[in-house]
Structure 1
């Protein structure tokens, strides 16, 4: 039996290690992907430390990795002829459950999306399986390390910016947290013409990076003049929309206070902490909204790949470092400690 390296997490003990496992065989409608790049996300860190727990995992352990790009290696029965061995692809970060009412009727988004590398085996491996409908062709000039991060690090803020948050051209937007998600939110807000764009982060290097990615103003959350500066740069109106990319309760309170009339706060960063709004009367009087966001809608990854195909956007600055698959635990430690203030670290099997 052929074997391969894979980064496996035992859920009951949260023990993570990279070890030899059998190379998977594609079933009906599946393809096997030879992985060329797999992103390391804070969600992976939180799965290992126990902050996050899979909702739908049916096995005691799972191969991590929901940001994946590679080459089609083998086809299972029933895969359409449009897919051929050797094609360069990125993988959607999740799949429809196929069981909920929306899936059965295929009219609405799935109610119970299964996340790759969380609810079923992901891409921290030499080979991984994917349903053929989750494959997205990538152009020859888009490096695998950049394509791999699109299905979450880029598509999640894209969905938040263009969908949930309804950011608009020439309207002010704020981003709290300029890390792996937040810096792409800044880049994408710039792409759609939001203005001004305010980035907020406690790290000076992150603020400088946000300016490089297109922010008009970058502030320290500890700055006592922060709210005053935001209202000044928006001509007293406040922000149309703010994005919490950090998942920190204090961030949410600060961001709400910087919203204008009918302003929206979009919660993208994940945290188990409770949601609170201190000034409930002001929140209601001003018609503000608090919106949850997770992942990206159908078509988001295709849109971003198409934008990259025509060189409207690129992510070379987003790749902060690469690690061999065997050193996945080291990559996790670097991200957990924010060593070097990374945007995205990528495993290269």
Structure 2
């Protein structure tokens, strides 16, 4: 067993990101060490490297990035219960309860969830530590590259659609931004029975991808008749559910204007700028809602693994390419520039 390993580390004080040699971690009580086989590069990682996002709960000056992680259990720490054992294929939940807040003490939802690869060390490394309750078994037929992206890239839009957005079968839904989150949102809306599904994106390649993932109608966000085209596609009713997965402030007002009575806009993509709506009175009169959404619950990941295992969810189109861990900075730059218009780039240690 080597004493050191490669890890993609972000210095939270200087903002410098580099792949470095660090000690291989040893699992503590209740923890396992996982040999990482695949780790996704998310736009949130780019925002962390750029300094647009700041960890809320990080306790150290540096953090290993990576919240989309899959691999093989390597070593069990003390007090890890059965059935976990070395050699098991697993993915890691993207975060965990803090264990300290009033919600955790009373066995209620945690009020300060810690995010892997943001608040504590993640999976852009050859080995990663995980508390045993954040492990999810991965079926043999599901490749590690696809399993890794289920927490966040797939589970975040799934939770936004099914829980926050309260999707209804046979009702129209729209997705603004068909990148890593939006492409899966289109696919998952179709799985959930939304109809018709409208995808809005300024990039022609993204609109083509939306059709491949199951959209019924694709529109250029820069067109002057987006609202009219959506009303036409929905028989004049407007959208029951709209998802902003791009995190672009300008499209949110456009999305609200495309909602029908009682429609809901769910903000999934993170936008640091202000939220402005041109006509808030219409929002009130039409009893519409704007809802914030972040991440997913453990049960959402379990649902998606089951859907993938049963062949209901195909994530094969989601992996746009793989890179060795040593080239993590290259992957970040490719995603920042949208080089090749990727859905997800995967680091392979």
TM-score (norm 1): 0.99
**Aligned twin of 1:39:** 40
- Deviation at 1:298? 2.8
Cα deviations across residues 100-131 of structure 1 (Å, max 9, x unaligned)?
1111111x221100000000000000000000
User: Residues 93 and 298 of structure 2 are in contact (CA less than 8 Å); yes or no, is this contact kept in structure 1?
Assistant: no
Distance 1:206 1:88 in 2: 33
Distance 2:313 2:50 in 1: 34
Distance 1:126 1:142 in 2: 20
Quick check: 1:244 aligned with 2:229?
no
Distance 2:3 2:245 in 1: 41
Distance 1:340 1:109 in 2: 39
**Aligned twin of 1:86:** 87
**Aligned twin of 1:26:** 27
Distance 1:91 1:314 in 2: 20
Quick check: 1:300 aligned with 2:300?
yes
Segments of 5+ residues of structure 1 without an aligned counterpart are none
Quick check: 1:269 aligned with 2:269?
yes
**Aligned twin of 1:253:** 253
Distance 2:161 2:274 in 1: 24
Distance 2:30 2:133 in 1: 8
- Deviation at 1:226? 1.1
- Deviation at 1:314? 1.5
**Aligned twin of 1:230:** 230
- What SS does the aligned partner of 2:180 have? coil
Distance 2:247 2:45 in 1: 15
Segments of 5+ residues of structure 2 without an aligned counterpart are none
User: Residues 70 and 145 of structure 2 are in contact (CA less than 8 Å); yes or no, is this contact kept in structure 1?
Assistant: yes
Distance 1:34 1:202 in 2: 39
Distance 1:105 1:201 in 2: 43
Distance 1:345 1:305 in 2: 20
**Aligned twin of 1:54:** 55
Aligned length: 348
Distance 2:73 2:321 in 1: 25
Quick check: 1:110 aligned with 2:110?
yes
Cα deviations across residues 241-285 of structure 1 (Å, max 9, x unaligned)?
100001111110100000000110000000111111110111100
- What SS does the aligned partner of 1:210 have? helix
- What SS does the aligned partner of 1:291 have? strand
**Aligned twin of 2:6:** 5
Moved segments of 4+, more than 6 Å: none
TM-score (norm 2): 0.99
